[in-house]
Amino acid sequence: MTALVAATPAVDTDAIGHAAASCLRREIATYPKPGLVSPVDAGAHDDMDAAMMNRSADALAPYLAALAQAGAAGAGMDRLRAIGIAAEAAMMVATGGVNTHRGAIFGMGLLCAATGFRARYGIAAPLGTIVAQHWGAEILRGPVALHSHGTTVARRHAAGGARAEAAAGFPALYATALPALATARRLRPDNRNAQAVQVLMALIVGVADTNLLYRGGPAGLAFAQDEASAFLATGGIAAADWRARAIAVHHRFVARRLSPGGCADLLAMTFFVAAHDA
Ligand SMILES: CC(C)(COP(=O)(O)OP(=O)(O)OC[C@H]1O[C@@H](n2cnc3c(N)ncnc32)[C@H](O[C@H]2O[C@H](COP(=O)(O)OP(=O)(O)OP(=O)(O)O)[C@@H](O)[C@H]2O)[C@@H]1O)[C@@H](O)C(=O)NCCC(=O)NCCS
Ligand SMILES: Nc1ncnc2[nH]cnc12
């Protein structure tokens, strides 16, 4: 038994938490992002800005590390949920009561737990597969908030939201975002900001973001998806004027108060998975 434990690789869970928080910061720094908060402006939001979001990301690093630690200890969903709820409370303290990263705590938190689990048990599987196989059933069986925006939208529009995405092993990351990142890296190898914009547009096309549905209903979601689709169909970041066109899309989202917060979370998770699944 002693020999078994000694042979187990130590997992640097602080490094995992730090890397995940850096991915959140990198998402915040990306510009232009349709309707979303960036260092340039607050997009379609009147209660948050980039400084607040960065404070939130920094406050989450120790909780993301704790989730990696729990994953390395083989914890079940109840333990992960307790840490996630403590992380939500820390976010609220850091932001003065604004929901900046609830979806990211959930999705990135599960990816951190899977990273800890994979390192500890030496499993060669993508992080999304580990989340689905290890916690997927419990995620779907778990408690559902009675009055969250997500619950309201799920009732009205049959959208699965963050839970369904995680339980299925993050198809938005593996089938949409990572292929888009590979294309973007070919198109603009020296411009990581442009690559992120291309990935975000692909996510908006492919994801039923409950934030878009909550604020804009099915028409708002369709508008957002048409705009992102048109951006990609007319060259995406390969076009010489891609930045001006992405800024125009951003302003049209702001005019309609639309903000794809779920896709922003998934963009940060794309950075994390691209670095850790390689
Ligand atoms: C499981 C929960 C996360 C449940 O939350 P909820 O019932 O609210 O469910 P969803 O709507 O499905 O998702 C919550 C957030 O997830 C992001 N999201 C949206 N769509 C998707 C999607 N298709 N796939 C993945 N992720 C998605 C999104 O988060 C981002 O937006 C939030 C900010 O939006 P904002 O526009 O400001 O909206 P509000 O402040 O709400 O209101 P207004 O401003 O419009 O007035 C921000 O959080 C971003 O991150 C969705 O909002 C969960 O709450 C839960 O169970 N928590 C417990 C912890 C836990 O279990 N953790 C597990 C271990 S880590
Ligand atoms: N940059 C951003 N703006 C608004 N909501 C978000 N949720 C996650 N990242 C976000």
Does residue 226 lie in a domain region? Answer: yes
0.85 surpassed by complex ipTM: yes
Which of 25, 26, 27, 41 for mutating ligand 2's site (highest number of atoms within 8 Å of CB)? 27
Least confident window among 1-5, 84-88, 251-255? 1-5
Pick 84 or 157 by higher pLDDT. Answer: 84
pLDDT score at 4: 44
Does residue 38 lie in a domain region? Answer: yes
159-175 pLDDT tens trace: 789 999 999 999 999 99
Ligand with minimal distance to 159 CA: 1
Does residue 55 lie in a domain region? Answer: yes
pLDDT(189) > 50: yes
Does residue 5 lie in a domain region? Answer: no
Residue type at 257 in one-letter notation: R
CA angle in degrees (0–180, nearest 5) for 18-103-156: 175
Determine the average pLDDT of the residues in 91-107.
98
pLDDT(33) > 60: yes
Q: Which atom of ligand 2 is nearest to the CA of 44?
A: 4
Between CA 113 and CA 71 the distance in angstroms is 4
Does residue 1 lie in a domain region? Answer: no
Does residue 3 lie in a domain region? Answer: no
Between CA 209 and CA 160 the distance in angstroms is 9
47-92 pLDDT tens trace: 999 999 999 999 999 999 999 999 999 999 999 999 999 999 999 9
Does residue 4 lie in a domain region? Answer: no
Considering its fold, how many domains does the chain have in total? 1
| Structural domain of 164 | 13-276
pLDDT(3) > 50: no
pLDDT score at 77: 97
- List CB contacts of 120: < 8 A, sequence separation 6 or more: 8, 9, 11, 71, 72, 73, 74
| Contact status, residue 50 vs residue 100, Cβ threshold 8 Å | no
